Amino acid sequence: MSGEMIREYYTLQDGTKVPKLGFGCYNPGKLDFVAVLRNAVEAGYRYFDTASFYETERDLAKALRETGIPRQEVQIASKAWHDEMGYEETKAAFSRTLERLETDYLDFYMIHWPKPCEDDPDWKERDLQTWKALTELKKEGKIRHLGMSNFLPHHLNNIFENSDCVPEVDQLEMHIGYSQEAAREFCQQKDMLVQAWGPLGRGKVNDNPIINGMAKKYGKTFSQISLRFLIQKGVMPIPKSGSREHMLDNMRIFDFEISEEDMWMLTCMPQETWQGEHPDFAVPKMKSNFVQ
């Protein structure tokens, strides 16, 4: 392996160490994604975030096999999609995910969205049945850590109030211009690790003069400022990149610190770069309109 490795970690409730930077496995369909993932492993990434919906679980398995990296040296996360929610459905979906990933356990497994659709009157019970399946799989040793994706405080409270097994991770759209302060603070108060999907804002803030000014000030790139901003919030960014050069650049965020004044400036930027999916009223249904 020729990468630089990520040597800073967050610590979960049970003491497990998780790299402060992960690698996102959503493929828009234009890349040789096995090659992309091989490059990510060789660059030094050790946490990989995929999902059944991304259709990249097999790609990740092949990339890990081809690099020869031992299974215990990487952490793999996947997620159950809308049509995989429910007690029996989730257990079946999890088995398919294990098969595609060529592993007998997952480090993290998450419910991808709290609702299968905006107007589902039974979403709370569906979440609880899905969660029950996950907790049983964890007790069987097939999942090491349980989590959520796109769950806001009122979705999470349904789990906290009805289960003794609490989530350890919540993954949210989070970036400069959409920092979701209320949800982040709620999760961190519950001792949950917050992860950020879309941490670079899908390019919507690339031309922002404040961020670009800070990039010049700190001698860093736009992406490095964006990722460092999240790290200093105690958030784990999960960027993706098809370029090995960008993969390595994204890792070079542990040798500087954004000042308190600049952090406030970035936090208070107009919240105008939301991607368009919301857990309550803009739930994604098809790959064509999904950008996580």
> Do residues 147 and 168 make contact, with C-beta atoms less than 8 angstroms apart?
yes
**Helix or strand or coil: residue 184?**
helix
> Do residues 151 and 142 make contact, with C-beta atoms less than 8 angstroms apart?
no
User: From the candidates 26, 47, 54, 109, which is the catalytic residue?
Assistant: 54
What phi and psi values does residue 64 have, to the nearest 5 degrees?
-65, -40
Radius of gyration of the chain (CA): 18
Give the Cα separation of 214 and 209 in Å (integer).
8
Q: Which residue has the tokens 């952490």?
A: 75
Between CA 287 and CA 136, with CA 128 as vertex, the angle to 5 degrees is 95
Q: Active site includes 54? A: yes
- Quickly list DSSP for 2-58: -------EEE-TTS-EEES--EE----SSS-HHHHHHHHHHHT--EEE--GGGT-HH
Q: Which residues, in sequence order, are CB contacts of 145 under 8 Å at separation 6+?
A: 12, 14, 16, 107, 108, 109, 138, 168, 169
Side-chain half-sphere exposure of 288, counting CA atoms within 13 A: 0
Q: Which residues are catalytic?
A: 54
